[in-house]
Structure 1
Amino acid sequence: MTEVDEDSPRRQFAEAVKAGRHDYPGGPLSQTALAEKIRCSKTSVSRLETTEDPVPPAIPGLLDQVFSTDGLFKELYKEILAGDFPKLYRRRMVLEPKASFIAEWSPTVVPGLLQTAGYAYRLFREGDQRASEQELARKVEQRIARQVVLESSSPPDLSVVICESVLRRTIGGSEVMREQLEALLVHIARPTTLLQVLPLDAGAHGLMDGSMSILTAPDVGMIAYTEGIKSGSIIDEPSAVQQLRRSYDVLTASALSRDASTRMIRKQLEAL
């Protein structure tokens, strides 16, 4: 069993589950009874309390409902996810669930917030040929868990621009790519999401060096995250972020409209 620090969010999560059972109205709640309420096995509850297993994405919300903890388990889960990411990415992972606006530009792959599990798996596998299946499964789970922000009762406004090459580059074979394109069509239909495709003939622009994200969150303002092949950086200096935001606005003006982007995705889907 992996050693977990006593003050880590994962340990706090485990202790909160135990406390919730012990203090449950009407008397202590057994692991079996809790398992029935959150629709899992007694063994799964036991492993939650001993930190042996990762926390499934659906569990925190169910625990908050059962124990009436007003989002405690959801917040701890966010901290667990942030801590699981390399240090470079942690600030972004902390800010992402709090963001009211997220902008994404990607010239190479579908952004993580919109990836399917199959697509993410192939990217992780190609990025680390020596990784075990367990390690890859954990990475995929972390990536997919981020998408809960888009399914909340108050999702952020999301603006995404992807290069046309992202649609044309087949990742993981036709079946994986077909599933991914179908997922993009679902996302593009959401009222809080604007997904645009930048045509290959759009010409030069100010964000050609790599992918970029801009997040706006309460009490933080606007920050940008830029990423290369093996590196990334957080930019929070106001004038630098504003310049990147301006470049992104120019990019959206050069990209296809929502309807035209939808048609291009459908056309590529039919070609697979």
Structure 2
Amino acid sequence: MKKPTRLLLTALSTVLVWGAAQAQALKIGASAGVHADTLDAAAREARKQGLDVKVIEFTDWTTPNAALAAGDLDANYFQHQAFLDNAIKERGYKFAVAGVGVLPNIGLFSYRIKNFGELKDGAKVGVASDPVNQGRGLALLEQAGLIKLRPGLGQRGTVNDITANPRKLKIVEVEGPQLVRAIDDLDLAQGIPAHFVSAGKPQMASNGLLYSGASDVYFAIRFVTRQDNANDPRIRKFVQIFQESQAVRDRVHQLFGNDAKLYSLPWLNK
């Protein structure tokens, strides 16, 4: 009888551990705006399936990773693979990717000009201050014919890699989440369309002068965990709900200004 008793105790222990995990809300951090709003939609669907999820908003792109590393979060959802790779390189984070989310476009936007030919010499142009997203913005500026970068960089260039700036543009580095506000004081700026939608300016989101391609999954937003909780079944379940829920897809479409050209759902292309 001892062996069955041990098996019974083991099974009971497993059930109790799972129950304790379920009793605790899954804490997922996200940047305020489209990412947090999308997670809120997924969290509502998760609660219907018995999974309690708490979405915690951040207004910068540094704290979500620090909070995850410290154990204050179970996962975060705000960064693409290039940003994550750079964070791991610089900070030594022991992180893992639990799933892929939405792929947002970026674009070049302006309240002051309608085409690049109207951009005056010495104009102020905003790019993201972090090196990864800055590279994407500079690549768009080069594509627009406004600057030239050292060859072979792809989307990894920085302001120090500009080799030609014939219009003597003043490149202004702005923290990524603040670009949507800083554009008021700039002649041109890179930006994420969904940020304009979140700021109540959906017309701007669809009126960019130039957009990046929407097929590069490398820049899709990731669900990121620590390596020690990468196999948490609650996280796997939440990612599944996020990817499969029609309510989440409807909310994503709304947050991107009901404009399908501004985003894609890369997990559907597997």
Q: TM-score, normalised by structure 1?
A: 0.23
Query: In proportion to residue count, which structure has more strand?
Result: 2
Which structure would you say has the larger Rg?
Answer: 2
Structure with more relative contact order (C-alpha pairs < 8 Å, separation 6 or more): 2
Q: TM-score, normalised by structure 2?
A: 0.23
